[in-house]
A and B are shown apart, each in its own frame.
Chain A
Amino acid sequence: MQHRVTEFLVGLLFGVGLIVAGMTDPSKVLGFLDLAGTWDPSLALVMGGGILVGLGAFATAKKRTTTFFGGAMHLPTSTDIDKRLIGGGLLFGAGWGLAGLCPGPAIVSMGAGQPKAAVFVAAMLAGMAVFEGVERMQARKSAGAH
């Protein structure tokens, strides 16, 4: 139960951070992505601030095998730089640039009662479901081939 509380609080803190940073305002995000227009560099500082704190935290996490409370540490193990990673990144970036929304800010804006953000989240979930469906189909196909 204690974990459910900390997870909720981290989600709350992250959401407030996104609002304070200006990430929930698509016009601000697009102002950052518009290098050829009048460029608003603010979001570079958002990322910089996050990484500044994150560097210490992940350096600590890498040295440990468990969390501060003795739980399992789930650090990513994949190091592959392949077509999936780059292609997925390009597609995500295109969607990000079209509406000025990425997953976190979209969920927070939905919580703020923005109907378009709710539609965006629904479409995003549909896209994720398509991915799951294709993955499952391919897993079945390759299992049948052996």
Chain B
Amino acid sequence: MTIDWNHFTPWTALAGGILLGLASAMFILVNGRVLGISGIVGGLLRPKTGDAGWRISFVLGMLAAPLLYMLVAGPVPATIDAGWGTVVLAGLFVGVGTRYGSGCTSGHGVCGLSRLSPRSLAATLSFMGAGFAIVFLVRHVLA
């Protein structure tokens, strides 16, 4: 393994991570909810009375984030190299997988590990393991 020192950004990574932690802390302590994106969004597909408003407010905040960032700091780096077909397939996998697995990088990876939940640790190891494996396959076996 060689470390990619040219692209390693420890301080912004840590700062961004702390912001994610602060948002998760506020959400559980102020709103009483676990901040998990797939759960928040997935819940909109089977809306129960009085259960949609908080989800919509949260998602609108997320959609507004790049606008705020662009006003204050500049362009948002978000170039997607994957082709259209790959993007569709990846989106389908992520949609089905996060709902069966009851969470994604935020709900299991940040909040679940912060709660010291063995269930979330198992989920995190599963999706990280699959992520490592698929990138290895695409970049080093099939390429």
Which of B18, B24, B95, B123 has a CB less than 8 Å from the CB of A123? B95
Check A119–B91 contact: CB distance below 8 A.
yes
Check B4–A40 contact: CB distance below 8 A.
yes
Q: How far is the CA of A7 from the CA of B35 in the complex (A)?
A: 10
Check A90–B126 contact: CB distance below 8 A.
yes
Q: How far is the CA of A119 from the CA of B93 in the complex (A)?
A: 13
Check A79–B119 contact: CB distance below 8 A.
yes
Q: Chain A residues with Cβ under 8 A from B38's Cβ?
A: 103, 128
Q: Chain B residues with Cβ under 8 A from A58's Cβ?
A: 28, 111, 114-116
Which of B70, B109, B123 has a CB less than 8 Å from the CB of A47? B109
A145 at the interface (CB under 8 A from B): no
Check A128–B45 contact: CB distance below 8 A.
yes
Q: Which residue, B16, B63, B125, has most C-beta atoms of chain A within 10 A?
A: B16
Check B122–A7 contact: CB distance below 8 A.
no
Q: Chain B residues with Cβ under 8 A from A67's Cβ?
A: 28-32
Q: How far is the CA of A55 from the CA of B82 in the complex (A)?
A: 35
Check A27–B93 contact: CB distance below 8 A.
no
Interface size class of A (residues with CB under 8 A): 35 or more
Check A84–B63 contact: CB distance below 8 A.
no
Q: Chain A residues with Cβ under 8 A from B17's Cβ?
A: 17, 21, 45-52
Q: How far is the CA of A122 from the CA of B95 in the complex (A)?
A: 9
User: In angstroms, how far is the closest chain B Cβ from the Cβ of A10?
Assistant: 5
Which of A92, A93, A109 has a CB less than 8 Å from the CB of B80? A109
User: In angstroms, how far is the closest chain A Cβ from the Cβ of B94?
Assistant: 4
Check B62–A88 contact: CB distance below 8 A.
no
Which of B25, B118, B138 has a CB less than 8 Å from the CB of A97? B138
Q: How far is the CA of A24 from the CA of B96 in the complex (A)?
A: 21
Decide: A51 near B114, CB < 8 A? Known: A13-B19, A15-B64, A93-B134: yes
Residues of A within 8 A of B (CB): 3-28, 30-31, 33-43, 45-58, 60-62, 66-69, 71-76, 78-81, 84-114, 116-117, 119-132
Residues of B within 8 A of A (CB): 1-4, 7-10, 12-35, 37-38, 41-42, 45-46, 53-54, 57-70, 76-82, 84, 86-102, 104-106, 108-119, 122-136, 138-140
Beyond the given A97-B132, A114-B80, please list 15 additional residue pairs across the A-B interface where CB-CB is below 8 A. Answer: A8-B64, A17-B16, A20-B16, A46-B20, A50-B21, A60-B29, A80-B119, A86-B126, A93-B131, A100-B81, A101-B80, A104-B105, A116-B80, A123-B87, A132-B46
